[in-house]
Amino acid sequence: MAKKRYAMLIDMRRCIGCHACTVACKAENAVPLEVNATWLKIIEKGKYPDTRRYFLPRMCNNCTDAICARNCPTQATYKRDDGIVVVDQHRCIGCKYCIASCPYDVRFINPLKNIVQKCYFCVHRVESGLVPACVESCPTRAMIFGDKNDSKSEIAQMLATNATEVLKQEMETDPQVFYIDADETVMSNVEKKINYRAESSLIKLRL
Amino acid sequence: MENSDVNVIYSVQHQLPLVMYIGQYFFFTGLSAGSFVISVIATLLGRKEFKPIGKITAILAPILLIIAPINLIADLEQPLRFWHLFVYYNWTSPITYGSFLLTAYPIMGIIYAVMVYTDRQKAAKILGILGIPLAISVHGYTGFILALAKARALWNTAAMPTIFLVSAMVSGIGLVVIIAAARWKWFDKKATPEDRRKDKRLILQLAQFMAYIIMLDLFLIVSDILVLLTAHSDAYQAGMLILTGNFAPLFLGVEIFLGSIVPMVLVLGPTRYSLRAIVIASILVNIGVYAMRFVMVIGGQSIPLS
């Protein structure tokens, strides 16, 4: 049997933008204020009255070729055999190089523990045979989690029968969070295009 | 603009990971590598009038490189775990090269300085030749730290290590000129007028050398920006950020104008025989290189990723 390869599929035809995944993640993983391991990106397109909102649940892509794991100087970030990228919280020295190298801005410093954290597909739940908290909480079953190498799994069948997209394919990281029918604009780097002056970034400098 | 009808209602941007500690660290390793190279050149040429400069720089290099990693450790979220770098190394990470280089280089620098001060010319020459690749890699790897962080368009270029090395040379020579000029002014009174004239000429030559390296630096920066502006969209935004965005005053005003063009004019222009003008140029050069580190480290991270 092929090696396990956990992946996430988010069906945007079903997503209603309710933030249940964000809340579930915060509760399950005790994610402090100011930081998020999972969040919902929301944009609004068009001019009133012809407007529409588009959502995109965002989380760590647990990339197959993870730049963070390659650049971690202490091997605190590493890829498990089942494909999940985890951070060893006892080994992490907090050099933050992984945060700087990640193309998806999904890593953060936990302000209480002073180490780097991110979404790791709720690996503690997955090991007990459960699905991640966000998937469990999704009221419209828009999120599907499973072993994509197991051809009988729901995710493998969905991936085989649907056109899917991933974020920032040009980064060559082989992301393992797939989206069905996500809007092109919400997947692209909208904030950069709207405001390349990056006014807010200087305020966020923590010196 | 194509996205004028798009508004971001909610998204999360995490704090900038690398703050100015990192930029300062780059600045200090650069000064150290630059002054070490000058010291070795002085030792290798072996002429009597080069000796004072060789000595100043030999002691400067290890001191600066002991200051530099303090910034790194202060930047860690878990400073007491810094020893993990040596125990759990990862050879695909440039920080791992750095942690070993940063240990080897100051040790070598101290031994070299002892050789220079005890006037053991042959040993100093051999150590100097062995030390130059080490000095280049100890600073060059910092360019790789930025270049290998693929997500940031401003950093992810093969020119980055070279730009860092060249600007390190510029700032290193600048510091040496400042110190050599101070020595000439206040601590060199006992020398004969003949020697004093030679010393002054040496400082002027050093400053001219600095001006030529500034030209090389400008060439590298221009080529980097030209490529950024014509590459993919992220790179274009990065180029615009430093040319017209928030970082433009610092980049164009301080780094390019005050830190490169003004010193070049002061050193090569009509004031080229004035020690005062040359010292001002050297101070400006160091301010410019510090600004360059700021623009690179903070500017590189300030374009939102999602």
H/E stretch holding B10: strand B6-10
In whole angstroms, what is the distance from residue A69 CA to residue A41 CA?
25
pLDDT over 70 percentage in chain A: 91
In a domain, B10, yes or no: no
CA angle at A201 for the pair A198 and A204, rounded to the nearest 5°:
165
Report pLDDT for A170: 87
Question: How far does B225 lie from chain A, in Å, by closest CA?
Answer: 16
In a domain, A165, yes or no: yes
Q: What are phi and psi of A126, to 5 degrees?
A: -60, -40
In a domain, B153, yes or no: yes
In a domain, B26, yes or no: yes
Contact residues on chain A for B92, CB-CB shorter than 8 A? 70-71
| C-beta atoms of B241 and A196 within 8 A | yes
Q: Which residue has the tokens 């700087």?
A: A100
Give the count of domains, chain B: 1
Please give the average per-residue pLDDT across A43-67, as a whole number.
Answer: 92
pLDDT for A197 beyond 80: no
In a domain, A85, yes or no: no
- Quote the DSSP letter at residue B249: I
Q: Which of B6, B154, B234, B241 best probes binding to A when mutated, by most A CB atoms within 10 angstroms? A: B6
Report pLDDT for B4: 62
**CATH number reported for the structural domain that contains residue B197 in this entry:** 1.20.1630.10
pLDDT beneath 50: ranges in chain B: 1-3
Q: Which of B78, B96, B237, B297 best probes binding to A when mutated, by most A CB atoms within 10 angstroms? A: B78
In a domain, B6, yes or no: no
Contact residues on chain B for A87, CB-CB shorter than 8 A? none
In a domain, B12, yes or no: no
Give pLDDT tens digits for B214-236: 999 999 999 999 999 998 888 88
Q: Which domain holds residue B111?
A: 20-301
**CATH number reported for the structural domain that contains residue A56 in this entry:** 3.30.70.20
In a domain, B11, yes or no: no
In a domain, A101, yes or no: no
| C-beta atoms of A58 and B12 within 8 A | yes
In a domain, B14, yes or no: no
In a domain, A110, yes or no: no
DSSP string, chain A: -PPP-EEEEEETTT-----HHHHHHHHHHTPPTT--SSEEEEEEESSTTS-EEEEEEE-----TT-HHHHH-TTS-EEE-TTS-EEE-TTT-----HHHHH-TT---EEETTTTEEE---TTHHHHHTTPPPHHHHH-TT--EEEEETTSTTSHHHHHHHHS--B-S-GGG----SEEEES--HHHHS-HHHHH-TT-HHHHHT---
| C-beta atoms of A104 and B305 within 8 A | yes
In a domain, A73, yes or no: no
Report pLDDT for A192: 64
Give pLDDT tens digits for A31-41: 998 899 999 99
Confidence of residue A193 (pLDDT cuts 50, 70, 90): low
Give pLDDT tens digits for B114-137: 999 998 888 999 999 999 999 999
In a domain, A94, yes or no: no
In a domain, A191, yes or no: yes
| C-beta atoms of B78 and A47 within 8 A | no
Question: How far does B30 lie from chain A, in Å, by closest CA?
Answer: 20
- In contact, B168 and B27? CB cutoff 8 Å: no
Question: How far does B141 lie from chain A, in Å, by closest CA?
Answer: 13
- Which chain B residue shows the shortest CA-CA distance from A90? B81
Closest CA to B62 of B109, B8, B15, B11: B109
Give the count of domains, chain A: 1
Q: Which domain holds residue A186?
A: 6-60+120-203
In a domain, A33, yes or no: yes
Q: Does B118 touch chain A (CB under 8 A)?
A: no
Report pLDDT for B111: 93
H/E stretch holding B9: strand B6-10
Closest CA to B222 of B179, B263, B260: B260
Closest CA to A62 of A145, A158, A137, A181: A145
ipTM: 0.87
Residue partners of A167: CB distance under 8 A and separation at least 6: A61, A104, A175, A177, A179, A187, B306
Closest CA to B241 of B165, B304, B285, B291: B304
- Which chain A residue shows the shortest CA-CA distance from B8? A43
